[in-house]
Structure 1
Amino acid sequence: MTTVLGIAETYFVSTLGADAIAAASMVVPIMLTMTMVANAGIGGGVSSAIARARGAGRYGEAESIAWHAVVIAIIAGGLFSIVAIAAGPTIYRYLGGVGQSLHQAILYSNILFAGAIPYWMLALLQSALRGSGTVRSSTQHWLLWRLA
């Protein structure tokens, strides 16, 4: 689904012109950096810590780690938003942005990274589910519990 979304987004942006494509191309490396830090870097640590706690039978500790992941997501997402919005214009100029493409990159970036906290929450909670070892059944139990 992520690949399909990427292709659809690229097609849509291509209909907006060369400046829009250039703007999106400048923002993508920053987005990929955030994605890798959230999913692979910190998310890997969350998965590992929860897996170790569950494997040792310390379920309360695993739950505590999941709640700490939420706090980390709020802080890291907020910091990433602030840095990306504040440093974005400088970064995009360094990447070759000028004129309308720079303006569009800044607009796109500000909108995209304003939503960094929910993105980080999703990434770290997915990592917590992966660390539990039962992603499918954990999701089903959570949904059933919420619907009950």
Structure 2
Amino acid sequence: MDARTHRLLHAPIGPTLLRLAAPNVVVMLVQALVGLIETAFVAGLGTDALAGMALVFPVLMLVQMISAGAMGGGILSAVARSLGAGRRAQADALPWYAAAIGLGLGFLTTLLALGFGPALYRVMGGEGASLAAASAYGGVVFSGAVLVWLFNGLAAVIRGTGNMALPAIVTSVGAAVLVPLSPALIYGVGPVPGLGIVGGGVAVLAYYAAGAVVFAHHLWAGRGLLRPASR
């Protein structure tokens, strides 16, 4: 049994829970801040753009919380139970299951959001320019919903091994990079024109794409506790 799993099973409960919980709280706060950062920059485009993003934000947060909390919690639990029971072969296979869940539910999210998103925004009160902004922003963000699901699913696998630090670091660094990237894409840099509210959506997807790549490399390059097969 590896040292990290041994500590999870035999170390004092109180300090162990605190050590595991602190980075996880950071991840949840930073992911919520990502949306607030985007909101602050989009606000500079005017009230119609801000109103449009306000219609998309609750749906995006719902997807984030389901993928990171509900489904992510199940993935994390499966990894932790397998390691705790000494079923290493089963634990090593779980990253592929997490990836399959992320791909499947990510594509389903895209289909639902692109198919019914504009109607939902209209029911929520969007009309005219605000509805157009919501449809544009939501169309970009939810076209890459797979990235959100993969990011949170693979992060859950890593947390299930007891490594809470890496997801917290990746999430925090990604948010720090998003601060200059988002306004650059929204408003433009030098001779490069801005993309408007669409640029905010591109910045969010870039954040999740980069994080998912880091998590996948960590898992499949054998840098962590698990050793998933290459196929």
Shared fold (TM-score greater than 0.5)?
Answer: yes
Matches within 5 A, 1:56-67: 56-67=85-96
Alpha-carbon shift at residue 66 of structure 1 (Å): 1.6
CA distance in 2, matches of 1:41, 1:24: 24
The number of residues matched between the two structures is 145
Letter of the structure 2 residue corresponding to residue 37 of structure 1: I
Matches within 5 A, 1:103-114: 103-114=132-143
The residue that corresponds to 2:17 in the other structure is none
Alpha-carbon shift at residue 112 of structure 1 (Å): 0.3
CA distance in 2, matches of 1:146, 1:134: 14
Letter of the structure 1 residue corresponding to residue 63 of structure 2: M
CA distance in 2, matches of 1:79, 1:4: 26
Q: TM-score, normalised by structure 2?
A: 0.58
| Alignment partner of 1:102 is 2:131 | yes
Q: TM-score, normalised by structure 1?
A: 0.89
1:4-43 Cα deviation digits (max 9, x unpaired): 5444322211110000110010001110110111011110
Give the structure with the higher percent helix: 1
Question: Once the two structures are aligned, what percentage of the paired residues are identical?
Answer: 36
Q: Which runs of 4+ in 1 moved over 2 A?
A: 1-8, 134-139
Letter of the structure 1 residue corresponding to residue 141 of structure 2: L
CA distance in 1, matches of 2:33, 2:117: 27
Alpha-carbon shift at residue 107 of structure 1 (Å): 0.6
Letter of the structure 1 residue corresponding to residue 218 of structure 2: W
3-12 or 102-111, larger mean C-alpha shift: 3-12
Over 3 Å counting, the alpha-carbon distance change for 1:87 and 1:137 in structure 2 is: closer
The residue that corresponds to 1:70 in the other structure is 99
The residue that corresponds to 1:79 in the other structure is 108
| Alignment partner of 1:134 is 2:169 | no
Aligned with residue 44 of structure 1, among 66, 73, 77: 73
* Unpaired stretches in structure 2, ≥5 consecutive residues: 1-29, 168-214, 224-231
CA distance in 2, matches of 1:22, 1:115: 22
CA contact (8 A) 2:35 2:57 kept: no
The residue that corresponds to 2:146 in the other structure is 117
Over 3 Å counting, the alpha-carbon distance change for 1:5 and 1:36 in structure 2 is: closer
1:94-116 Cα deviation digits (max 9, x unpaired): 10000010011001000000111
* Unpaired stretches in structure 1, ≥5 consecutive residues: none
Kindly indicate whether structure 1 or structure 2 has the higher relative contact order, using CA contacts under 8 Å at least 6 residues apart.
Answer: 1
Letter of the structure 1 residue corresponding to residue 155 of structure 2: Q
The residue that corresponds to 2:12 in the other structure is none
